[in-house]
Copies of this chain bind each other. A is one copy, B any other.
Amino acid sequence: MTDTSQKKELEDLQEILRELRALLRRLQDLEEPPARNDVVGAPAAARPLLDVLRARLDALHLADVAFVLEALPLEERLIVWDLVKAERDGEILLEVSDAVRETLIESMDDEELVAATEQLDTDEIADLAPDLPEGVLEDVFQSLPEEERLQLRAAMSYAEDSVGALMAFDMVSVREDITLEAVTRYLRRLDELPDHTDLVFVVDRGRHLKGALPISKMIVTDLDVMVSAAMSTEVVRLHPDDPAQEAAQTFERYDLVSAAVVDDAGRLIGRVTVNAVVDYIRDSTEAEQLAQAGLREEEDIFSSVWDSVKNRWAWLAVNLVTAFIASRVIGAFEGSIEKLVALAALMPIVAGIGGNSGNQTITMIVRSIALGQLQNARMLFFKEISVALLNGLIWGGILGLVAYWLYENPELGLVMTGAMMLNLVLAAMMGVFIPLAMDKLGRDPALGSSVMITAVTDSGGFFIFLGLATLFLL
């Protein structure tokens, strides 16, 4: 956190990055560059440079070190990683992206990994766990006190996109039958409150959540007031098995900074803070954007060619299959195309516009499903079909005229207009149906819908256009 303006801050980081890269290049120009993971054994000439680098890195905020690591190619990244103070390793591993975390963990031996992990809170260890080698996790587990072992086991048991996965265990709770002064004295003994403590939770002897006391209210209220009088009893209670997505909507809707997580019996077991929610929103948006192009988060721009090919092949294969089917539809009409070759030139327009229009419909529907607005599917069907008919009339009409003008064939123009209208109607129906069906089946309608609609409007568009032409023109 630097004492400068926001823009200057970003520029500073990029300046540091450039400096680091220059230093690293000079290191590599030395006759014997330090081997990976062996900065200690670097030649004498490299020492001063490494010291400069180390001092630079020590002065950076954790999150900024993570940024630098993400922005460096593998070799330079590992040199920087070796220079980072070991006691910051754990937190930085949490900060970096999946792709970068993998490369960092691969460069560390088990001992280093255990040491890095032991610095973390149990909920953070759980976040890191899937990326750690089996043995390391076991060692860390053995080293924890009993209570934290239980927490770690609980934290690891929650599904990836659940509230439990966002939950932290560090929080402050008090009883309701004491005064605010007693609360204040108790808090003072803590030296420091956990980050994002805007609420002190109020529990009974059995840890059942009774309410919450906003810190800001404590400050403006007389100290001899009882907690029970000052607390608010209308508090949001999250459950560890609730979808994280719902928790995010709750934070957004009610502008929360932190919220209690309770078990089925209403006992306080942890809390979720807004920074975890922001990270979740950002991560899930990013994962969704990548998934729409058939990519996973494990690839970044520094991944090897081979890793990239592996990451991308599945989606290309799916698209190849759908393209092949569309190609076979055309193949069935090869006789018609031979007789009227203009069909070959016009058919991709019908298919393409159908795909675009269908994607527009899907985007609208997916969004309203996400916002919980979808009540009346039949109304939607009719509306989208009306929009498609109107669009088909307008754009199909224009294209019909163009086809007529290009090929001086009025019937061809009419077939073009008719095919456009039919394919847009098909796109509208499938654009409503596909996401609704996926939602019903419990799958995320944002993923895969676009590939499916394009498959339908491609094959459908070719079939409709070539079929109409065969019927009416030949």
Q: Which 3 A-B pairs rank lowest in CB-CB distance, beginning with the nearest? A: A255-B275, A344-B344, A63-B253
Q: Count residues of A near B (Cβ-Cβ below 8 Å).
A: 141
Chain A 351-389, CB-CB to B under 8 Å as 1, else 0, gives 111001101101111011001111110011001001100
Closest chain B CB from A168 CB (angstroms): 12
24 examples of A-B residue contacts, CB within 8 angstroms = A1-B236, A3-B233, A3-B234, A5-B238, A6-B237, A6-B239, A10-B246, A10-B372, A71-B371, A188-B221, A191-B220, A290-B363, A295-B360, A295-B364, A312-B357, A316-B395, A326-B352, A327-B346, A331-B342, A334-B344, A338-B338, A338-B341, A344-B344, A348-B462
CB-CB under 8 A from A323, the residues of chain B are 348-349, 352-353
Chain A 241-283, CB-CB to B under 8 Å as 1, else 0, gives 0100011011111110100001000000000001101110110
Check B219–A184 contact: CB distance below 8 A.
yes
Q: Is A328 among interface residues, defined by CB-CB distance under 8 A?
A: yes
CB-CB under 8 A from A368, the residues of chain B are 300-301
Surface stretch bound by B, among A36-44, A45-53, A110-118, A193-201: A193-201
Check A197–B216 contact: CB distance below 8 A.
yes
Q: Is A151 among interface residues, defined by CB-CB distance under 8 A?
A: no
Name the residue in A275, A282, A299 with the highest tally of chain B Cβ atoms < 10 Å from its Cβ: A275
Q: Is A2 among interface residues, defined by CB-CB distance under 8 A?
A: yes
Beta-carbon nearest neighbor of A4 in chain B: B237
Q: Is A29 among interface residues, defined by CB-CB distance under 8 A?
A: no
Beta-carbon nearest neighbor of A273 in chain B: B255
Closest chain B CB from A310 CB (angstroms): 10
CB-CB under 8 A from A220, the residues of chain B are 187-188, 190-193
Complex partner residue of A320 from B216, B251, B347, B353, CB under 8 angstroms: B353
Complex partner residue of A373 from B70, B246, B274, CB under 8 angstroms: B70
Assembly of this chain: how many copies? 2
Question: A195 to B342, alpha carbons, bound, how many Å?
Answer: 66
For residues 80 through 98 of chain A, which have their beta carbon under 8 Å from a beta carbon of chain B? 97
Closest chain B CB from A61 CB (angstroms): 7
CB-CB under 8 A from A73, the residues of chain B are 376, 379
Check B274–A278 contact: CB distance below 8 A.
yes
Check A71–B375 contact: CB distance below 8 A.
yes
CB-CB under 8 A from A17, the residues of chain B are 375
Complex partner residue of A290 from B281, B309, B367, B399, CB under 8 angstroms: B367
Complex partner residue of A215 from B2, B215, B236, B249, CB under 8 angstroms: B215
Q: Is A21 among interface residues, defined by CB-CB distance under 8 A?
A: yes
Check A308–B387 contact: CB distance below 8 A.
yes
Q: Is A107 among interface residues, defined by CB-CB distance under 8 A?
A: no
Q: Is A150 among interface residues, defined by CB-CB distance under 8 A?
A: no
Question: A239 to B61, alpha carbons, bound, how many Å?
Answer: 21
Question: A5 to B299, alpha carbons, bound, how many Å?
Answer: 37
Beta-carbon nearest neighbor of A13 in chain B: B372
Instruction: Given A67-B253, A70-B371, A353-B316, answer yes or no on A278-B277 (Cβ-Cβ < 8 Å).
Output: yes
Q: Is A345 among interface residues, defined by CB-CB distance under 8 A?
A: yes
Check A348–B363 contact: CB distance below 8 A.
no
Interface residues of A (CB under 8 A from B): 1-7, 9-10, 13-14, 17, 21, 61, 63-64, 67, 70-71, 73, 97, 163, 184, 187-188, 190-193, 195-198, 215-221, 233-239, 242, 246-247, 249-255, 257, 262, 274-275, 277-279, 281-282, 285-286, 289-290, 292-295, 299-301, 305-306, 308-309, 312-313, 315-317, 319-320, 323-324, 326-328, 330-331, 334, 337-338, 341-349, 351-353, 356-357, 359-360, 362-365, 367-368, 371-376, 379-380, 383, 386-387, 390-391, 394-395, 398-399, 402, 406, 458, 462
Complex partner residue of A293 from B257, B359, B383, CB under 8 angstroms: B359
Name the residue in A61, A300, A306, A352 with the highest tally of chain B Cβ atoms < 10 Å from its Cβ: A352
Check A328–B345 contact: CB distance below 8 A.
yes
Check B293–A247 contact: CB distance below 8 A.
no
CB-CB under 8 A from A191, the residues of chain B are 220
CB-CB under 8 A from A192, the residues of chain B are 216-217, 220
CB-CB under 8 A from A347, the residues of chain B are 344
CB-CB under 8 A from A343, the residues of chain B are 344
Check B387–A309 contact: CB distance below 8 A.
yes
Check A327–B301 contact: CB distance below 8 A.
no
Complex partner residue of A327 from B163, B300, B348, CB under 8 angstroms: B348
CB-CB under 8 A from A312, the residues of chain B are 357, 360, 387, 391
Beta-carbon nearest neighbor of A328 in chain B: B345
